[in-house]
Amino acid sequence: MKEETSLIVPDIQIASGRIGHHKQLELAASQLAMIMPSYLEKVSFLSGIHSALRKNNKLAECSSVSFMSAAIVSVRLGLSCDPALGEGYLVPFGGEVVFIPGYRGLGKLIYNTGMVSGWSTGAVYPEDDFDWQLGSNAWVHHKPSKTRKISPPKEVSYYYATVTTVVAGKEKALVEVMSRQEVEAHRDEFSKQYGSLKKKWIKAKRRDIGADVKKFSEALEQTVWYKHPVSMGRKTPLRRLSKTVPASPSNNLLQLAAEVDGRSERGLRTTMSINPSEPTRILESDYSEKKDDKNSVIDGYYEELPGGSETEENPTSGNESVFDVQEKRSEDLFD
């Protein structure tokens, strides 16, 4: 793949890898400020990207072009990469960086359309008081148990999202509820990063290929679904609802964020222009979703192990795996 640095930071040589990501960001700060939404504060927003770099050393191992591409997408959408805010994530994968919107980022863009009066999302545990109704008079009732302690993600019963739209002065509640099993099925089917690596890990474990088990385990640990399962679970029904929010004629950022999210799940890097005269849009490219796509951030993890089928077996059998560890997590950092 030929890296088109001219679309990103034309006045510095980032493709050569001669400078680190922190320095690269500093040199591009003035250009990034010119494409930043007017309501954002430049210094604090860019410090969020620096914070993401400091908190994940794996990002430093990724290509400079992919890092700047992800940073530009974050700036264009106006979603912070600061891990403490949960609006979006810089995720390293296969030597590339992708930007993935978080549920708080989607919620922020939903509200900024000016077509809604409020939104919410949550995770429901078995001991919570929870009920809902769909249709023209939709509603959700969720009262968390006062005695519930911090529980692992595997104990979540449901994820839900609500959006209250305002059209012609009238409010209408939109509700989406998904069981944990539905969310996990969505993850395994549509998240090329997580789902494909999980299958590779299972096949390597079945054949006791230690080096590949270790490689796929380490790769899985870098996925946002592994690190923040509850946050990603809460985003899934909200993303479904985002498609039904009335479009704002002057604000297409929500639609773009949903498209960026979908591309990231399929393992594709998104590129946007740093030229302030260009509108905020996804640049045309030769990216494809083919299995051997050289632009895919998970390229290099697709090699097939000899024999066998894609049928999954219980990944928690045998020695402790990344899946066992994930289920033992006591909390989600951004929940």
Nearest Cα neighbor of 30 from 16, 52, 54, 12 is: 12
Q: What is the dihedral of CA 74, 80, 81, 86, to 10 degrees?
A: -130
Q: Taking 50 as the threshold, does the pLDDT of residue 320 lie above it?
A: no
Mean local confidence (pLDDT), 138-159: 90
pLDDT for the residue numbered 11: 40
Domain boundaries, the chain: 5-110+179-328
Q: What is the pLDDT of residues 151-171, one digit of tens each?
A: 788 899 999 999 999 988 899
- pLDDT surpasses 60 at 317: no
The pLDDT of residue 246: 82
- What is the pTM (predicted TM-score) of this model? 0.75
**% of the chain with per-residue pLDDT over 70:** 78
pLDDT at 318 over 80: no
Does the structure show a pLDDT above 70 at 63? yes
Average model confidence (pLDDT) for the chain? 78
Residue 5 pLDDT more than 90? no
Within 41-91, residue ranges assigned H as helices are 42-55, 64-77
Question: What is the pLDDT at residue 157?
Answer: 96
Mean pLDDT value of segment 43-62? 90
pLDDT at 284: 57
Q: Is the pLDDT of residue 207 over 70?
A: yes
Q: Give the per-residue pLDDT at 235.
A: 95
Strand order in the sheet with 116-124: 116-124, 158-167, 170-179
Q: Is the pLDDT of residue 80 over 90?
A: yes
pLDDT at 142 over 70: yes
Q: How many CB atoms lie within 10 A of CB 296?
A: 25
Residue 133 pairs with which residues in a beta bridge?
Answer: 139
What is the pLDDT at residue 215?
83
Give a three-class secondary structure readout of 309-333: CCCCCCCCCCCCCHHHHHHHCCCCC
Mean pLDDT of 241-259: 85
Report whether 8 contacts 24 (CB < 8 A): no
Angle (CA) 297 44 112, round 5°: 75
pLDDT given for residue 37 in this prediction: 87
pLDDT of residue 19: 64
- State how far the Cα of 330 lies from the Cα of 263, in Å rounded to an integer: 30
Tens of pLDDT, residues 10-42? 344 444 444 689 988 999 999 999 999 888 888
Q: What is the pLDDT of residue 107?
A: 96
Question: Comparing C-alpha atoms, which of 275, 273, 293, 292 is closest to residue 284?
Answer: 273
- Beta strand 116-124 pairing with 158-167: antiparallel
Using pLDDT thresholds of 50, 70 and 90, give the confidence band for residue 293.
Answer: very low
Q: What is the pLDDT of residues 92-139, one digit of tens each?
A: 877 888 899 999 999 999 999 989 999 999 999 999 999 999 998 999
Which has the minimum average pLDDT: 86-100, 187-201, 254-268? 187-201
